[in-house]
Amino acid sequence: MNLGLEGKVVIVTGGSKGIGLACARAFLMEGGRVAIASRSPENLETALRNLASPAQELIAVPCDLTGRAAAKAMLEEVEQRLGPADVLVNSAGAAKRYLPEDLSAESWHAAMDAKYFTYIHAMDAALPAMAKRGKGAVVNIIGMGGKVATPIHLPGGAANSALMLATVGLANVYGPKGVRVNAINPGATMTERLREALKLEAKTHGLSEGEVLAQRQAKVPLKRYAAPEDVANLALFLASDKASYITGAIVPMDGGSNPVL
């Protein structure tokens, strides 16, 4: 299927690792011109080597999206080097997990800064320009923690819930201006962060990482965790004209683990 993404300028925040990196690779394979943003210049350099595309097709922009001004500067740099952004994929930021007894006001503020405002600042920078041109697509990668509360991820889950509301609200506002805004809710996905969690659980329970992974995946109706590429494939579709009548959608990708609306 030709998704019509060739030549599109795509910004992927959090594009140096995990799901963001998989999204960047997928858009490059579709012929997109991709900018990846991350706080870490070192991670960006590694990502550029892994993606190995010509400079006119792939650039890296170091950027801390917890700052509003930094998000605007990032967008301006992308426009100067690649052109106006057609697609924004938000995959930056991860909220720290806390035991319930360790929660404080600072925990909640930190989670909003790390996850919620990184997405909001990027959208605030990109959406007005998209609206002015009368076209554009935003895909927000938002964890299932916004729908299913877990005791050690309450601040991060609250940030995810707020992002889902912002997604559907902005879709309603910007739809008449030709801009679509959608979100993906991945469940457990085989990223570096998940592998670190598996390693810790294995050490705690005296098991191998393979045993822990097998136990966890057995509980998933589809009997496996998602690969980052699974999420990237859906991001491609939602960003493409094949999804031209889809906006304000929150699409779960947890293999059926959480049977909730």
Beta-carbon contacts of 154 under 8 Å, excluding residues fewer than 6 positions away, are 98, 100, 103
The pLDDT of residue 168: 98
The pLDDT of residue 260: 78
The pLDDT of residue 203: 84
Considering the domain 9-189+226-246, what is its CATH architecture? 3-Layer(aba) Sandwich (3.40)
- 144-163: string of b/e by CB count within 10 Å (b at 16+)? bbbbbeeeebbbbbbbbbbb
Tracing tokens 């990109």 back to the chain, one arrives at 126
Backbone angles phi and psi of 245, in degrees to 5: -110, 20
152, pLDDT greater than 80 = no
pLDDT tens across 224-240, in order?
999 999 999 999 999 99
pLDDT tens across 16-71, in order?
999 999 999 999 999 999 999 999 999 999 999 999 888 789 999 999 999 999 99
Backbone angles phi and psi of 107, in degrees to 5: -60, -45
The mean per-residue pLDDT over the stretch 111-118 comes to 93
pTM listed for this prediction: 0.93
- 3-state SS, residue 22: helix
The mean per-residue pLDDT over the stretch 162-175 comes to 98
The pLDDT of residue 202: 85
The mean per-residue pLDDT over the stretch 182-200 comes to 89
The pLDDT of residue 144: 84
Local confidence band at 149 (pLDDT 50, 70, 90 cut-offs): confident
Mean pLDDT, the chain, whole residue set:
93
Which of 80, 181, 185, 43 is CA-nearest to residue 124? 181
